[in-house]
Amino acid sequence: MTTDRTPYQENNHQDTSEFQKHSESDRSKSNRTQKQWSKYLYILLGLGGIGLGFFVARPMLTSSFDSPAVESQERVIPVETIEVQPVDSYQVSRTYTGEIAAIRSSNIGFSRGGEIEQVLVREGDRITAGQPLARLDIRNLETQRQQLVAEKARSQAQLTELERGARVEDIDAARAEVRDIEQQLKLQAKQRERREYLYNQGAISREELDEYAFGEGSLQARLSRAKSNLAELENGTRPEQIAAQQATVQQLEAQIADLDVTIDKSTLKAPFNGIVAVRELDEGTVANAGQSVIRLIENASPEARIGMPARVIEKLDIGSTQTLKLGSRTYQATIDSTLPEVNSNTRTQTVVFKLDPSAIPRINPGQTARLELVNEIDTDGYWLPTDALTQGIRGLWNCYVITQSDDGKQQVQQQAVEIIHQQGDRALVRGTLQPGDEIVANGTHRLVPGQIVSSK
């Protein structure tokens, strides 16, 4: 079926198509516009949300970052304060350590060998000079001494006899012998004269005459010997004999004295006041000559030797009195001398202290001795409690000074200080502090610069 269209219809159809095209085009543009506006709206809503979030979060952020300042403006913290005053010096107490040194110490032994019969002391005993410490067996020495004493007695008797000379009885006997021989000689002479007369008369032989002649000569010789003996007795003993006998007696005396020394050395004696440190041998031991039996350390004049720096020694005077601490006790000591040698390791010199005699019974060589000296050091500063300081930077420390704010309130201001010396719970500092400044004494960890506070 064919439809015929009029020109009007064709025109109307064309218009309608174009209208539809235009309508579709308009609707497409409208849709695109709506989508663009929706996009813009979403963007605006997002930006608004972000702005709203920032506006809401801003007080929180401000509170988070600026809370100390806000808190310092809102809350007043009570603090304890002190008023600082300047000082121009401080004292430092230093302790120097040394030990008690004995002047002498000896390993004591016998000068001869022998069996030890007794050891009379124990380790730790305090002894005096000359006190017996040990003894050797001396029975053989005592026997030898008795023999020498007997020989000396005999020789002394002979010397006494020589010094006194002949007895009166011996001299009288010698004189009587001389007179007897003289009488015999006179008789012999008369008999010889008679025999000569008889011989001249021919009454006797020459032999009988010679017999009387020789008999007279024999009596003459006996008379000379008797006279010499009498003269010797009357003149006394010769000096040479006395001197020889005296030498014999002296020799025996020297032998006895030498034996007495040996016997005396068989008793070991303390050469000085001291303490028995070691007992090395006991009874029954055969000790060799020079072998150590007892080690003795002197305690009669104890000394304390303490190493100190030269700059400190310069301030000490020889003869001055110092107080030394030995254990829990204190003793007075006098500075006796300073040894010239410097210790290469510690760079100190040794100062010798003489202890008071009252310390002798209660101290021992090797015991630790301590000397405490107080030195005055000139420097300007302020004493602050260590609780008032907080650590800063570059080795400095901080403290908080109380100041007045513009509205008349008390607030803290941080100031840097340098610690010069610390002593217990306080420190000497220097910095920009002024005399009379009020310093927060403790609790500084709660403060920040500008904090409003109230002092107690």
3-state secondary structure 284-348: CCEECCCCEEEEEEECCCCEEEEEECHHHHCCCCCCCEEEEEECCEEEEEEEEEEEEEECCCCCC
pTM, full prediction: 0.46
Per-residue model confidence (pLDDT) at position 74: 59
What 3-state class would DSSP assign to 224? helix
**Would you tell me the crossing angle of helices 206-235 and 168-200 to the nearest 10 degrees?**
160
Is residue 255 pLDDT above 70, yes or no?
yes
Per-residue model confidence (pLDDT) at position 415: 92
Average pLDDT, the chain: 80
How large is the greatest C-alpha to C-alpha distance in the chain, in angstroms? 261
Higher pLDDT, 273 or 163: 273
Residues 6+ apart with CB under 8 A from 73: 452
* Helix ranges (DSSP H) in 274-386: 310-313
CATH architecture of 98-103+298-377: Beta Barrel (2.40)
Q: Which of 405, 422, 414 is nearest to 439 (CA)?
A: 414
**CATH of range 69-88+378-455; options 2.60.120.860, 3.90.180.10, 3.20.20.150, 2.40.420.20:** 2.40.420.20
Q: Which residues of 393-414 are buried (b: 16+ CB within 10 A; e: fewer)?
A: eeeebbbbbbeeeeeeebbbeb
Per-residue model confidence (pLDDT) at position 73: 47
| Average of per-residue pLDDT across 115-129 | 91
Per-residue model confidence (pLDDT) at position 426: 93
Q: Which two tokens stand for residue 455?
A: 């002092």
Q: What CATH number labels 110-134+267-296?
A: 2.40.50.100
Per-residue model confidence (pLDDT) at position 103: 67
| Every domain of the chain and the residues it spans | 7-63, 69-88+378-455, 98-103+298-377, 110-134+267-296, 144-260
pLDDT digits (tens, 9 = 90+) for 34-53: 555 555 555 665 555 555 44
User: What single string gives the DSSP state of each residue in 13-27?
Assistant: HHHHHHHHHHHHHHH
Which H helix or E strand runs over 265? helix 239-265
Per-residue model confidence (pLDDT) at position 117: 93
Is residue 429 pLDDT above 70, yes or no?
yes
Is residue 108 pLDDT above 70, yes or no?
yes
Equal fold, 69-88+378-455 vs 98-103+298-377: no
- 163-172, 349-358, 396-405, 424-433: range with lowest mean pLDDT: 163-172
> 260 φ, ψ to 5°?
-65, -40
| Spatial distance between the Cα atoms of 147 and 137, rounded to a whole number of angstroms | 18
CB atoms within 10 A of CB 308: 20
Q: With cut-offs at 50, 70 and 90, classify the pLDDT of residue 19.
A: very low
| Average of per-residue pLDDT across 334-345 | 90
What 3-state class would DSSP assign to 406? coil
Is residue 446 pLDDT above 80, yes or no?
yes
Name residue 217's amino acid: G
Q: With cut-offs at 50, 70 and 90, classify the pLDDT of residue 190.
A: confident
Per-residue model confidence (pLDDT) at position 61: 43
Percent of all residues in the chain with a pLDDT value above 90, rounded to a whole number: 38
| Average of per-residue pLDDT across 298-307 | 82
Per-residue model confidence (pLDDT) at position 189: 79
- 1-5, 243-247, 359-363, 433-437: range with lowest mean pLDDT: 1-5
- 53-57, 216-220, 444-448: range with lowest mean pLDDT: 53-57
**In contact, 439 and 84? CB cutoff 8 Å:** yes
Higher pLDDT, 396 or 162: 396
Q: Which two tokens stand for residue 36?
A: 């663009």
**Would you tell me the crossing angle of helices 67-74 and 7-65 to the nearest 10 degrees?**
60
Per-residue model confidence (pLDDT) at position 3: 38
Higher pLDDT, 405 or 403: 403
Is residue 29 pLDDT above 50, yes or no?
no
Angle (CA) 30 33 37, round 5°: 140
Spell out the SS3 assignment of 42-105. Answer: HHHHHHHHHHHHHHHHHHHHHHHHCHHHHHHHHCCEEECEEECCEEEEEEEEEEEEEEEECCCE
Strands 292-298 and 274-279: antiparallel
pLDDT digits (tens, 9 = 90+) for 364-394: 778 899 999 988 888 999 999 999 999 888 8
Residues 6+ apart with CB under 8 A from 456: 78, 79, 80, 81
| Average of per-residue pLDDT across 138-148 | 93
Per-residue model confidence (pLDDT) at position 6: 36
| Average of per-residue pLDDT across 14-43 | 47
| Average of per-residue pLDDT across 236-242 | 76
Q: Which two tokens stand for residue 182?
A: 């003289």
Is residue 21 pLDDT above 70, yes or no?
no
Strands 77-79 and 453-455: parallel
Is residue 418 pLDDT above 80, yes or no?
yes
Higher pLDDT, 190 or 443: 443
| Spatial distance between the Cα atoms of 90 and 426, rounded to a whole number of angstroms | 12
